[in-house]
A and B are shown apart, each in its own frame.
Chain A
Amino acid sequence: NAGVMQNPRHLVRRRGQEARLRCSPMKGHSHVYWYRQLPEEGLKFMVYLQKENIIDESGMPKERFSAEFPKEGPSILRIQQVVRGDSAAYFCASSPQDRSDGYTFGSGTRLTVV
Chain B
Amino acid sequence: KNQVEQSPQSLIILEGKNCTLQCNYTVSPFSNLRWYKQDTGRGPVSLTIMTFSENTKSNGRYTATLDADTKQSSLHITASQLSDSASYICVVSGDYGQNFVFGPGTRLSVLP
Contacts and interface: CB of A to CB of B under 8 A. Distances in A.
A103 B43 contact: no
A39 B104 CA distance: 11
Given A99-B93, A101-B49, A43 B44 contact: yes
Interface in B51-68: none
A20 B45 CA distance: 24
Contact of A103 (B46, B104, B105): B46
A110 interface: yes
Contacts of B46: 103-104
Contacts of A106: 43
* Nearest 7 A/B pairs, CB to CB: A105-B43, A42-B104, A43-B102, A99-B97, A42-B102, A107-B43, A105-B44
A6 B102 CA distance: 21
A103 B35 CA distance: 12
A44 B102 contact: yes
B112 interface: no
Contact of B100 (A4, A6, A45, A91): A45
B42 A108 contact: yes
Interface of B: 34, 36, 41-46, 49, 89, 93, 97-98, 100, 102-105
A100 interface: yes
A41 interface: yes
Given A91-B44, A98-B97, A100-B97, 7 more contacts: A42-B104, A44-B102, A45-B100, A93-B43, A99-B98, A105-B43, A107-B41
B84 to A, nearest CB: 19
A95 B8 CA distance: 30
B97 A91 contact: no
Contacts of B100: 45, 99
B103 to A, nearest CB: 6
Contact of B89 (A43, A44, A45, A101): A43
B37 to A, nearest CB: 11
A42 B43 contact: no
A91 B105 contact: no
Nearest to B107: A40
